Amino acid sequence: METRWDYTELAAFYDKRPGYAAEAVERLLAATQTTPDQDIVDVGAGTGKLAIPLAHLGYQVVAVEPNDAMRRFGTLNSQRLNVRWVEGTGEATTLEDASAHLVTFGSSFNVTDRHQALKEAARVLAPGGHFACMWNHIDLEDALQKDVEQIIRDAIPNYDFGARREDPAAVIDRSELFEPAKQIETRFDVEVSSEDYVDTWRAHASLARQAGNEAHFMQIIHAIEARLAPALSLRVPYLTCIWYARKPR
C-alpha cells in the first residue's frame, strides 16, 4: 500500500527506537476508560512500539500498518500476543464502522493527511470512543541533544521538525468530529548503547528526506557517531506527549 513516506529501508533501525512512557500510556487508558474487552486500533503501528505494550497489558489490538517491512518486524515482535496486523493507512484503515473504543496514532499522525485521518478515526470509533496521537520527543535542552541539533542545522540550515513537534490540538478541534482535545505528558530516561542511539537517527525519515540524498544523510549520521565517541552507552531523556479527544455519543 503506497503512502507519501516509505520506511522500507528504515524499518530495522526504527525497531530500535524506544517505546512510549508506560505511565503516559496507562494514564491514557484510564482517562479514556478503555477496558481489556474493548478493541484498540493502533494506526501506523510500525514495528509494534505501542501495539505490543498494549497487548502485554491485556488489550486486544488491531495494528494497521501500510509498509510491508515494518509490518513484518511487527508481526515477528508480537508473536503469541493478541495483536492482529492489517495492511492499511491512517486515511483508509479498511476496518469496520464503530469497531473500536480507542484509535491511536503512535508517531504516525504527522505523516497522514490529518483531516482525512481524523475522519477515518471517527468512522472506526464507536460513539463515546477516543482518538489519540502521541510522540516521543527527545529533550532539546539536553547537552547531547543540543550538540546533535547543531550538527543537523550545520548540515541543513533550514531543517524543520515538521508536524511531529506541533501541538495537534487545533487540528483535532477544527475537525469538529471530537470534543476538545486534552493532553498528557510524561518524562522518562532511556539507557541505550551508542550504536542504538545512532540507529534511531538512521530511522529518522524526516532527517533523511531533508538531507536530500543518501550521501549527505550519511555525512550527518557519521558526524553524530563522532560526537558520541568514545561513549559506549547513553542516558537519553525523552518526553512522551499524548493528545486525546472523545467522539460524542
Contact 207, 14 (CB under 8 A): no
Q: What cell does 219 get?
A: 555525512
Please say whether the beta carbons of 87 and 94 come within 8 A.
yes
Q: What is the pLDDT of residue 73?
A: 94
Give residue-wise pLDDT tens across range 20-37: 999 999 999 999 999 999
Query: Do residues 64 and 41 touch, judged by C-beta distance below 8 A?
Result: yes
97, part of any domain: yes
In a domain, 3, yes or no: no
- The pLDDT-based confidence of 4 (bands split at 50, 70, 90) is low
DSSP state of 242: E
Helix axes of 194-202 and 214-228: crossing angle, nearest 10 degrees: 160
Give the pLDDT of residue 134: 98
- The pLDDT, as a whole number, for residue 17 is 87
Q: What is the chain's mean pLDDT, rounded?
A: 93
pLDDT per residue over 106-157, tens digit each?
Answer: 999 999 999 999 999 999 999 999 999 999 999 989 999 999 999 999 999 9
Other beta carbons less than 10 A from residue 198's beta carbon: 18
Residue-number span of the structural domain to which 142 is assigned: 8-246
**Beta strands 100-106 and 125-138, pairing class:** parallel
Domain count within the chain:
1
pTM over 0.85: yes
Here the CATH number for the domain that contains residue 18 is 3.40.50.150
Q: pLDDT for 220-230, tens place per residue?
A: 999 999 999 88
Residue 14 placed within a domain:
yes
Quick: pLDDT tens for 176-189.
999 999 999 999 99
Among positive and negative, which fits the CA dihedral 213, 9, 148, 24? positive
Which of residues 204 and 157 earns the better pLDDT score?
A: 157
Query: What is the Cα–Cα distance from 130 to 243, expressed in whole angstroms?
Result: 10
